[in-house]
């Protein structure tokens, strides 16, 4: 039995990976909303068609407690705070700032590159870019058989 899919058309050939990426993005988007984040389009630089910045609110985390990894086209940001002995020994009357771990993933489009990351005033910024696409036109020879 065949399943009906979004890209199930005889004119869309070789889009299996795109469909899988859309399914992964839908699953990733269904997760929890922590930490909050922004995605903004920046002015394009010379040689780059597009620049994007992902900014995450990671107040309370230092750079050593954050990890950014790219595996193929998936960018994953993790934050791990370890409660120290001095924290455990303290008695809180109210604890609204909790040591909380997180993992947030983004699927990157074909050709996207991570330019770098910075942490300033509790905001982790990750800059991405996509190089200018190269337009290729090619004539295909037609072989004849007699």
> For the chain, which residues score pLDDT lower than 50?
1
The whole-angstrom separation of Cα 54 and Cα 114 is 11
Render pLDDT for 106-138 as a digit per residue (tens, 0 to 9): 999 888 999 999 999 999 999 999 877 788 899
**Contact criterion met (CB below 8 Å) for 101 and 91:** no
Check if the beta carbon of residue 58 is closer than 8 Å to that of residue 77.
Answer: no
Q: Which domains does the chain have, with CATH numbers?
A: 35-131 (2.60.40.790)
Residues facing residue 48 across a β-bridge: 131
Angle at 67 between CA 39 and CA 53, to 5 degrees: 20
pLDDT at 1: 47
Largest CA distance in the chain: 91
């Amino acid at each position: 039995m065949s399943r009906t899919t979004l890209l199930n058309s005889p004119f869309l050939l070789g889009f299996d990976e795109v469909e899988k990426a859309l399914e992964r993005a839908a699953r990733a988007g269904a997760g929890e909303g922590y930490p909050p984040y922004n995605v903004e389009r920046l002015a394009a630089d010379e040689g780059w068609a597009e620049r994007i910045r992902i900014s995450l609110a990671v107040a309370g985390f230092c750079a050593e407690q954050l990890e950014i990894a790219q595996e193929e086209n998936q960018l994953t940001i993790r934050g791990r705070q370890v409660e120290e002995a001095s924290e455990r020994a303290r008695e809180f009357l109210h604890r609204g700032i909790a040591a909380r771990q997180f993992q947030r993933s983004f699927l990157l489009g074909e050709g996207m590159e991570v330019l770098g990351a910075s942490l300033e005033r509790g905001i982790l910024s990750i800059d991405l870019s996509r190089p200018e696409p190269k337009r290729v036109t090619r004539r295909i020879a037609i072989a004849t058989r007699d």
